[in-house]
Amino acid sequence: MIFMEVFLDNRQSKVDIDEKILDTLIRVVKESLRVEDLEGDFEVSISFVENEEIKELNKEYRGIDKETDVLSFPLDEDLLVPVPLLGDIIISVEKALEQAQEYGHSLERELAYLTAHSMLHLCGHDHMENQEKIIMRDKEKEIMKSLGVFKGEKGV
């Protein structure tokens, strides 16, 4: 049985994030944990920011001086807390909207994908090596398919 708490922090004002989108993202977090066969209690935070803030974070933590769509910050497993904190997901909603328009699907679908991608990072996956990338992409597809969210879909 999975108990999870998802903390949502909207620090941007350029794009409306409605309840339907928030509900979808919570479903993505839960489905990601199921795909990873994780059981127990977990906490995750998702912050919605503007391009300028994510650019600053990307420069500070990755040494890359440009905006990106999403950053994942897994928390230290050695922290002694009552509920395991998987980590933080920071999403540039401006960049997500731009990508949704570019790929011809909804903002909700793009945010769902970015959340699934980041959840897999929080669970220890990476895509630096080709084999890791294949595994991660397969899991992303499984999460999105199980939620009925497909590439190019205008609505979720």
125 appears as a binding residue in the annotation: no
Residue 105 among known ligand-binding residues:
no
The identity of residue 64, as a single letter, is I
Report the first-to-last Cα separation within the chain, whole angstroms. 26
Is 127 annotated as contributing to ligand binding?
A: yes
Q: Are 90 and 12 in contact (CB under 8 A)?
A: no
> Do residues 45 and 6 touch, judged by C-beta distance below 8 A?
yes
3-state secondary structure 65-107: CCCCCEEEEECCCCCCCCCCEEEEEEEEHHHHHHHHHHHCCCH
Write out the H or E segment, with its range, that includes residue 130. Answer: helix 130-146
What distance in Å separates the CA atoms of residue 108 and residue 101, rounded to the nearest whole number?
A: 11
- Residue set of the binding site for Zn(2+): 117, 121, 127
- Residue set of the binding site: 117, 121, 127
